[in-house]
Amino acid sequence: MAKSGGPNKPAKLTRPEKKAARKAKREARRETWRNMRQAFSLTRKGDPRFVPYLVMFSVLATAIVYVVVLLITGSVLLPIPFALMVGLVTAMFVFSRRAQRSMFTQAEGQPGAAGWMLQQQLKGDWRLTQAVAGTTQLDAVHRLVGRPGIVLVGEGAQHRVRGLLAQEKKKVSRISGDTPIYDVIVGTGEDELRLSKLSRYLLKLPSNLSKEQVSALDKRLAALGGAKSPVPQGPLPPGAKMRNMQRAVRRKS
C-alpha cells in the first residue's frame, strides 16, 4: 500500500506500482506507434498523392524556415533545428489531413458510415442514439440531441430514408414540443450531405437550448427506444456481401 506524504504531498508509489506504471506507458507508446503505422499504410494505399504531398510540403516548409532564419541571424547552423521542427509539424499536419480525407473517402456510401462517423468524430455536447429507425435494406436514422436541439441524420437510399425521417420527426415532435428539429441525409447524391461535411454542418447549427434542457430532453426521448432492425455499427468491410448482411438483419429483426 502506498504511503501518504502528508496533506500537500502526493503519495509515493511502491516499486511494483512504479514498474506497472512504466509498463503501461510503454504499452501506450507502442499502441500509438502501431496505430500511426496502420493509418500511414492505409492512407498510402487509398491516396496515391499522400506520399508526394507529404514530402513536398515538408521539404518546402523546412527550406522556407531555414532561409528566413538564415537571413535574420546570419548563422548557417542556427536555422537547422527551427527548420527541422517546422518540417516535422508540417509533415504531421499533412499526414493528419490526408489520413482523415482517405478515411472518409473509403467509408463514404457504405451502410453504417454516418453512424460510425458520429460515434468516432462527434465534437461538442451531443447525445447520440444510433439507429432509432431502420430498414432491412440497411437504411438508418440516427438521433442527436444537443444545444441546437434535435438532429435526425439519415443514411441509405434517399427515397426510403425520407420516409423514415418523416416518421421519426413526427414521433419526436410529440415529446420535444417547440424544440427545433433538423434533419439531413448523408450521401453523395443530390440534396445529400457528404460524410466529410457532416461534422462541420453540426458545428454551424445555432445554440437554442441550455445544458440542463439538453439533458432533460435526452431523458424524455430515451423512452422512445431504438430501431427494431439492427444496422451495422460502422462501414461494411471491403468484400462484405450486402445480401448476406441483409439476410442477417432479417433474422435478427
pLDDT tens column, 230-253: 555 555 444 444 444 344 444 444
Model confidence at 59: pLDDT above 80: yes
- Residue 92 confidence (pLDDT): 93
Give me the percent of the chain exceeding a pLDDT of 70. Answer: 84
Confidence (pLDDT) at 1: 45
Q: How confident is the model at residue 227 (pLDDT cuts 50, 70, 90)?
A: low
Q: How much is the pLDDT for 233? A: 56
Give the residue, 108 or 148, on which the prediction is more confident: 148
When pLDDT is cut at 50, 70 and 90, the band that residue 64 belongs to is very high
pLDDT at 241: 47
The whole-chain average pLDDT of the chain stands at: 81
At residue 237, the pLDDT reads 46
Question: Which cell is 154 given?
Answer: 439519415
Cα separation, 98 vs 204, whole angstroms: 23
Looking at residues 201-228, what average pLDDT do you find?
85
